[in-house]
Chains A and B, each alone.
Chain A
Amino acid sequence: MKCMRFMVLIALFVATLTVAASSDYWLVRDSQLRSKPIFNSGGSRIDQGTAVSVIKSDGVWRKVSAPGGKTGWLPSYELRQSAGVVTQKKDGSVLGMLIRSTSRLFGRSASEDVEQGVVATIGVRGLSEEELKQSKPNYQRVDQIKAWASSAPKARKAASNAGLKAVKVAEIQGASS
């Protein structure tokens, strides 16, 4: 068992290294490859799923090179480092659902997996509108989750272990207010 865990960690570590070395990013949605690191600076359309390499960072902006020799700026949050953990296993139903629903995101190869029948069951269990409407309260189940609750000191310690520090941040206003 311990050995298994160790192997998984090694595999994760290697996967992380591979991702970091290739510096491949995916565009998570259709966007504009901007000529300057400014939101309304104009630019050419770049499709969701396009793989890009990051050349330079400037605050929230990333200068990227895209296929066809194009370069331009994208906001960092539209980029995702490779497909990450999500694509590491392709035989589970949960993952199959993810691949299917994000097939546009993860490119053609993931769609092909689904088409080849790697994923047998695709459906929504549990929290569809219909199932929610039929649901009745299950108090035993909801009271069981209390056992996992964290105390404030434990949460603070875990945050501190990851180098997180609480800071004062004022509320932000919406565009209309």
Chain B
Amino acid sequence: MKYCMPWIVALLALSATLSANAFDLGGLGDKLKEAEKKLDKAKTKIEQVEHETRFIRGDVSDKEERSIGRDLAATLVNAAPPVKNAALQRYVNRVGRWVAQQSSRPKLNWTFAVLDTDSINAFAAPGGYVFITQPLFLLLENEAQLAAVLGHEIAHIEEKHHIDALQKRSGSQLLTKGLLSASRDKLDKNNQKALDKLIGAGKQLYTSGLDRGDELAADRKGVVLATRAGYSPYAMLGVLALLDGIDPSDKSMALMTHTHPAAGERLNALEPAVVTSLTRYANQPEVASRLQKQQAKLLK
């Protein structure tokens, strides 16, 4: 209904304009121009409503998702820049891309980065942006654990958890059609306002966290992705056990503690599923040497 209303309104407006001026042939050209303008305005409105309706339905194109993701990722990397170590970043991208290839969205522009911060955490932004912080990277024991952490974030993107949360929490007002195609350098007033709203909602999401159910689902899906990529299925359990051993009140853990279920709770939820369903993959490798080589370079 919401879909058709603007059309009906536009047609009524057009017919009213035409009928009222049917006998005024002298002013017909002007009136027609005016009517065309009104029609154009109505069309623009319809496009916006269609766009918002699609967003409400969760029907966001990959391109639109990437645009939203770029805005949110740009906000994250402003707070914590990527570590300036191209070899490390390329290594993490190769591992991440391999895991992402096992997902249902292998063709996204998957982009991974290690961020320079003291915080222990990992983040995803829509459209294929995945970040792991340097301290979390340093705490890992092998590449299988890295694959599991990246797999958890890839799962959030695969399932569009952030897009869903933005829709649920902020509604359609977040996105104007113009914003998605507009260059971020030259935004007009309306688009700038829309962008500010989107960034605000994104920051809210990263500081308050996704739903508990989404986090636990991403744990399960992440393990499956890493296992499909050939890594040990127990790696994520190792990461969660390690995180469970860190004092949750420590500053480095503050944001993760605030935005995720407790590591012990996540481990307890994941353990039975992994141990019963994935035991046959228990002999898949952990690949310690490559990760430890990159860690050693960082600590030099």
Interfacial residues of chain B within 55-97, with CB under 8 A of chain A in the complex: 70-71, 73-82, 86, 89-90, 92-97
A21 interface residue (CB < 8 Å to B)? no
Interfacial residues of chain B within 234-273, with CB under 8 A of chain A in the complex: 234-235, 237-238, 241-242, 244-247, 250-255, 258, 264, 269, 271-273
How many A-B residue pairs lie within 8 Å, measured between CB atoms?
278
- Complex Cα distance, B257 from A101, in Å, reads 13
Residues from chain A with a CB closer than 8 A to the CB of B228 are: 166-169
Listed residue (B228, B245, B254) with the most chain A CB atoms within 10 angstroms of its CB: B245
Q: Check B199 against A146 for contact (C-beta < 8 Å).
A: no
B299 to chain A minimum Cβ distance, whole angstroms, is: 5
Q: Check A158 against B95 for contact (C-beta < 8 Å).
A: yes
Known contacts A101-B252, A141-B81, A174-B273: A85-B95 contact under CB 8 Å: no
Q: Check B93 against A77 for contact (C-beta < 8 Å).
A: no
What's the tally of chain B residues with a CB closer than 8 Å to chain A? 103
Residue of A nearest to B240 (CB): A77
A155 interface residue (CB < 8 Å to B)? yes
Chain B 86-126, CB-CB to A under 8 Å as 1, else 0, gives 10011011111110011000100111110111111100000
Known contacts A141-B78, A144-B82, A149-B111: A159-B245 contact under CB 8 Å: no
A75 interface residue (CB < 8 Å to B)? yes
Residues from chain B with a CB closer than 8 A to the CB of A76 are: 234, 238
What's the tally of chain A residues with a CB closer than 8 Å to chain B? 80
Q: Check B230 against A166 for contact (C-beta < 8 Å).
A: yes
Q: Check A100 against B250 for contact (C-beta < 8 Å).
A: yes
Residues from chain B with a CB closer than 8 A to the CB of A136 are: 75, 78, 199
Interfacial residues of chain B within 139-153, with CB under 8 A of chain A in the complex: 139, 141, 143
A144 to chain B minimum Cβ distance, whole angstroms, is: 7
Chain A 133-177, CB-CB to B under 8 Å as 1, else 0, gives 111111101111111111110111011001111111111111100
